[in-house]
Structure 1
Amino acid sequence: MKVQVNSIRAGNVIEYNGKLWVASKVQHISPGKGGAFVAIEAKALREGNKLQERFRSGETIERVHIDERECTYLFKDENGFTFMDKETFEQLVVGADVLDEDQSRWLQDGMEVTVSLYEGTPVGAELPKTVVLAVTEADAVVKGQTASSSYKPAIVEGGIRVMVPPHIGVGTRLVINTEEGTYMERAKD
């Protein structure tokens, strides 16, 4: 179906130059001089090569219909990441080429994930916008840093490095934004 290029989001499958592409990064850019445009980074569905393209705002592009299934993450093995369809209880294996390292590092056992399928083949997965993880390592608070809004590095479950406010210590549960990998707030639990 033809849609305005402004409505394309990361994870959407588009048809461009006779190939199917999964949009991985979409930026809406409004320069001070000239017309606004949308920059799209995408990965070819079948071949895996990458595309960086700019479209003028208001242009139309073909968005391909894909099936989305609510799934639960089970485990990772040499074949990829295994999910269970919540309706049919069928297991779906999503390859490491589909779920990149930026996304896969946030996966937790039992996590609810939306898996996108095109003609029965997994082409993408949409993780929750946030995850709650506990801090496993954090630098000690340095006195005198409270006046400025400085952040310090901390390691959360899974070995992921996140910049956090100085008052955060080991064991603190944090809400982390999975798209940007940034600290949002302390978990309220």
Structure 2
Amino acid sequence: HSQHSTPATTMFSIRSLVVAFAAIAGTTSAFVPSSPNHFVARTPTHLQVAIDTSDIKNGLTVEIDGEPFKVLSFSIMKQARGAAKTTIKFKNLMRGNTIENTYRSGEKFQTAQIDKIGHIFSYADENNFSFMNAESFEETLVPISIVDESAKWISEGMELNLIFFNDKCIEVVVPLSNTYEITDTEPNVKGNTAQGYTKPATLDSGAIISVPGYLEAGDKIRVDTD
């Protein structure tokens, strides 16, 4: 994930921004269990795209004051007079905090370089998750604070993507849909035909979800992780 950041060349009155498309599994068809390579990036991806406020989308990763922020949501406020304004809510992918900024319509951004690298989950301890590079087999340790909400969806041997910024992993991206095994759930009660009956179940990744009442421990189920 070796790379050099592209310096910003345009200064704005609000602050300089460098925007990157972090191509994070954009569609549900991006992952197919029988062909995991459809989801997992096998080589570094350097994304450099010039955009403005009209191109803002959830999932974009931007650089603010030298740190990566992910677009969580945005809204456009049209005004009777003057240009519309776009309010964007970001999450700092290194610190975990969120901020909200407002920009003038058409404000120009420059892109940064983001690497999306395919990895395989190896193990986890009380501090880190360990992933093996799918090509070089090198180990990458990612703090639990970075893995964040993705942790509950990571199962043994899962292929996924790590997102890198300036050689540092800033996000772990699991497939939008994956097949899991139910490891624990209460037995199905014979004769219970109540339509819509669900019960809690623990998956082999550790996540607890609601499943149809007829499913048993050992069954496999397709789950949307988004």
The two structures have a TM-score, normalised by structure 2, of 0.61
73-82 vs 121-130, greater mean Cα deviation: 73-82
Q: Distance in 2 between matches of 1:126 and 1:114?
A: 5
Q: Could you tell me which residue of structure 2 aligns to residue 42 of structure 1?
A: 91
Report SS of the residue matched to 2:192.
Answer: coil
Q: Could you tell me which residue of structure 1 aligns to residue 45 of structure 2?
A: none
Q: Could you tell me which residue of structure 2 aligns to residue 186 of structure 1?
A: none
Residue from 112, 121, 125 that aligns with 1:64: 112
Report SS of the residue matched to 1:105.
Answer: helix
Change in 2 beyond 3 A, CA 1:151/1:59: farther
Residue from 146, 151, 155 that aligns with 1:104: 151
How many pairs are equivalent?
170
Calculate percent identity across the aligned residue pairs.
19
Does residue 116 in structure 1 map to residue 163 in structure 2? yes
Residue from 15, 36, 42 that aligns with 2:63: 15
Report SS of the residue matched to 1:83.
Answer: strand
Residue from 83, 98, 103 that aligns with 1:51: 98
Superposed displacement of residue 162, structure 1: 0.7
AA in 2 matched with 1:27: S
Q: Distance in 2 between matches of 1:176 and 1:20?
A: 33
Superposed displacement of residue 173, structure 1: 0.6
Q: Could you tell me which residue of structure 1 aligns to residue 73 of structure 2?
A: 27
Could you tell me which runs of 5 or more consecutive residues in structure 2 were left unpaired when the two chains were aligned: 1-48
What does 1:69-148 correspond to in 2, within 5 Å? 69-100=117-148, 102-135=149-182, 136-138=184-186, 140-141=188-189, 143=192, 145-146=194-195
AA in 1 matched with 2:217: V
58-67 vs 88-97, greater mean Cα deviation: 58-67
Could you tell me which runs of 5 or more consecutive residues in structure 1 were left unpaired when the two chains were aligned: 180-189
Q: Is the 8 A contact 1:15 1:61 kept in 2?
A: no
Q: Distance in 1 between matches of 2:177 and 2:87?
A: 26
Q: Is the 8 A contact 1:70 1:112 kept in 2?
A: yes
Residue from 175, 182, 200 that aligns with 1:153: 200
The two structures have a TM-score, normalised by structure 1, of 0.71
AA in 1 matched with 2:137: F
Higher strand share: 1
Q: Is the 8 A contact 2:156 2:205 kept in 1?
A: no
Superposed displacement of residue 21, structure 1: 2.6
AA in 2 matched with 1:40: K
Superposed displacement of residue 66, structure 1: 1.2
Q: Distance in 2 between matches of 1:171 and 1:49?
A: 36
Change in 2 beyond 3 A, CA 1:114/1:144: closer
